[in-house]
Amino acid sequence: MAQRKRLTRFAWLSILTAVFTICLKAAAYWLTGSVGLLSDALESGVNLFTAVFALLILTIAARPPDHEHTYGHSKAEYLSGGLEGVMILVAALLIGATAGQRLFSPQPLEQLGIGLVISLVAAVGNGITGAILLRAGRDYRSMTLSANGRHLLTDVWTTGGVLAGLAVVAFTGWLWLDALIGLLVAAQISRTAFGLIREAVDGLMDGALPDEEVAQATAVLERYRDDGVTYHALRTRRAGAQRFISVHVQVPGNWSVQQGHAMLENLERELCHHLAPISVMTHLEPVEDPASWEDIPLNRNYELGIMNYERAS
């Protein structure tokens, strides 16, 4: 838990970078009057808002389990990713509206050279911070940091497109190209927005672990077959940085409780070793019992209770 608390330092880095780039890009727009650079500055404003929200969410997600949240607060990170996606989408709509107006009424651009240099410096700052956040998100399994990192790196690519387009405008004098660049930026960041929203919704819907991690869990379980142990009802889900596995494990009926417990301890230890951090929940069954071979649904106990009640009635 202490490790999760330290993640807030990455959010502070993102906030400082956003303030730095907003100042630079706003200055670039003020000097040039370019709608392409304006779109870049607006997106940096979104970066600042989402970085502040990320700091709040990371603070909440680091809280230990309590009476009302016995599984912890890590799922709060999906709120950050979802909000970031929504805010990026709002920025894309604003950029698109501004660029659409400028497309039909182009305006002359001024001091393009210094404006391009300022934006290039801002892009370098975003690129460095984005790479740091993306790596931290991968290392700590934090959707908040990963989303923030991907957003900043997307900002670098869109800034690159803006700079390339404005360079063409400077050489050709095609002012309408500036507005077209703004529309392309809006379309590009909309794609990023929908990706973040989809990932957040998937997390809130208890999406399963990636196929490669499920394969690792299956490989561990398969190694116990030589001891007469089998399994079914393997289920996985994610909740922010925390992951969960539940599985029904079948053993020979003549095993003692101690023998079955010792085997489960070893099994859970192996799963945790390969997939940490993860919470493993197992259910022990005798392999000879026909009922233990059923693929047990999530609400089996409830359904059995209804059936028994109906029989008694």
Binned at pLDDT 50, 70 and 90, residue 297 comes out as low
Tell me what pLDDT residue 110 has.
56
> Can you tell me the mean pLDDT for 24-36?
74
Question: Taking 70 as the threshold, does the pLDDT of residue 81 lie above it?
Answer: yes
Binned at pLDDT 50, 70 and 90, residue 309 comes out as very low
Tell me what pLDDT residue 40 has.
66
Tell me what pLDDT residue 4 has.
59
Paired tokens of 1: 């838990």
Tell me what pLDDT residue 224 has.
92
21 vs 89: CA distance, rounded Å = 20
Mean pLDDT value across the chain: 79
- Whether residue 51 contacts residue 14, with contact meaning beta carbons closer than 8 Å, is answered with yes
218-266 pLDDT per residue, tens: 999 999 998 889 998 899 988 766 789 999 999 998 999 999 999 999 9
> Can you tell me the mean pLDDT for 155-182?
71
Higher-pLDDT residue of 179, 82 = 82
Question: Taking 50 as the threshold, does the pLDDT of residue 143 lie above it?
Answer: yes
278-287 pLDDT per residue, tens: 889 999 999 8
Give which of 300, 9, 20 is closest to 144, Cα–Cα. Answer: 9
**H helix runs in the chain, sequence order:** 2-5, 8-32, 35-61, 77-104, 112-140, 143-172, 176-204, 211-222, 257-275, 300-312
Task: List, as one string, the DSSP characters of 199-258.
Answer: HHHHHHTTPPPPHHHHHHHHHHHHTTGGGT-EEEEEEEEEETTEEEEEEEEEE-TTS-HH
- Domains of the chain plus CATH, in order, are 2-204 (1.20.1510.10), 211-312 (3.30.70.1350)
Question: Taking 50 as the threshold, does the pLDDT of residue 53 lie above it?
Answer: yes
User: What percent of the chain stands above pLDDT 70?
Assistant: 80
Paired tokens of 312: 């008694």
> Can you tell me the mean pLDDT for 176-201?
79
Phi, then psi, of 237 in degrees rounded to 5 = -160, 160
Higher-pLDDT residue of 158, 126 = 126
Helical axes 143-172 vs 112-140, angle rounded to 10°: 160
Tell me what pLDDT residue 215 has.
94
Higher-pLDDT residue of 43, 74 = 74
Tell me what pLDDT residue 267 has.
94
> Can you tell me the mean pLDDT for 167-174?
72
> Can you tell me the mean pLDDT for 82-88?
80
Paired tokens of 264: 């489960």
70 vs 244: CA distance, rounded Å = 14
What are the beta bridge partners of residue 242? Answer: 239
Q: Of the spans 52-66, 146-160, 296-310, which averages the highest pLDDT? A: 52-66
Higher-pLDDT residue of 218, 39 = 218
- Whether residue 276 contacts residue 245, with contact meaning beta carbons closer than 8 Å, is answered with no
